[in-house]
Structures are given as structure tokens and as C-alpha cells.
Amino acid sequence: MLFKDLTLTDAAPATRITRIRRAIAQPQAERAASATQCRFRANHWHSTAASRALFRRVSVKLGDNIIPKVVSRQGVDRLGNDFYRDLGDDTGGILTGLFNIWYAAEVFSSSLLQTDIFCLKKAGDRTNPMNYRPLALLNSDYKIFSRILAIRTSGHLHRLIHTNQSGFVPGRLLHDTVDLYSAAKAMVISDPK
């Protein structure tokens, strides 16, 4: 395989712009890692826990931390942010019970699969269908549950996703992937065999 042993250090000496990018990226990565750890601690996350802990029972505290932040628009259930904010103490326990029952039974409510899809007009001619974009309004319970799973899995993404994949992994930057691509391109140009 041509690029099997290729790393960021296999390229020609770093240019000035590359050194500047890395100097900027390193503190950003450190801040992102620090912020992620703070979020985990705030939600009683333990990064050393086994992967089965990702799907442990949902706790009321974790649900209470997430409910006011997640639900922005009303979905199929017509329950918006105000409902969960005003009745958070009551709904947190109910949702926790539901999520745990669904998880234990390995069956989720069919309402989690429902969505309302609308077309929002972008700029341009109203008669052109390409000037509209779809918008899916999801069930509020689904958004809360998916947020819980996203928080739990985010601490393990760096081990599950390949090191060259930068998107959706906290602490990884696109600049490193671009630098790796530039190094691979330079190697191919210098040795076309």
C-alpha cells in the first residue's frame, strides 16, 4: 500500500504557514479537550469507564442537564422548549423511566421515528423547487435521547473513528488532514512510481 506508513512528519520540512497553523491549532485542541472534560465532569461522566457504560441507565441528573438545551422547535409531539423548561422537574423523572424501559426492552416507541418535513424557501424564484430546503421537525423526546447518547459517545469517538477523519471528533482539526493530504501529494509528485 502506497500510503501505509505516511504520517504528518513524512513531508518536507514544515513551511512557515504550516508552523503557524500548528501553533494556532495546538492551543485550540487543548481548550477543546479541556472543555470536553469539563462537560463530562458536569454530567458525572467518567472517561475511564467501560464502553458498556455508554448505554447505562439514563439518570435523572443527566436528563435534567440536557432537557432545557436540546428542544428548540416543536416536533411531531408539539411539545416545545417551554414545556420541558416549565415542567422539567416532573418530565425529567418520566423521561428517565421511559428511556430506561425502552432500553431494557430493546424496543423504542414508534413516535421516535416520526417527523414533520417542511420546505423552507431560500433566495430566488418561488417556482423553482431547487430554491427550497427541507426541514425535519423531530420528536422532542428523540432529540433529548439522542443528545444523551451523543454526550456519552463523544468521549470514545477518537478511538472509534480513524485518525485522518477530522469531522465530528472533539479536538481534531481539519488542518491536520489537509497537511496529511499535502504530504501525500508531495510524495506522489516526487516519486511517481
| pLDDT tens string 167-176 | 777 777 888 8
Pairing of strands 115-121, 132-138: antiparallel
CA pair distance 25, 171, nearest whole angstrom: 9
Judge if pTM exceeds 0.75. no
Give pLDDT tens digits for 78-90.
776 677 777 767 7
Give pLDDT tens digits for 25-60.
777 777 777 766 666 555 544 444 444 454 455 555
Question: Which H or E element spans position 22?
Answer: helix 16-42
- Closest to 18 measured CA to CA, from 191, 182, 189: 182
Share of the chain above pLDDT 70, in %: 65
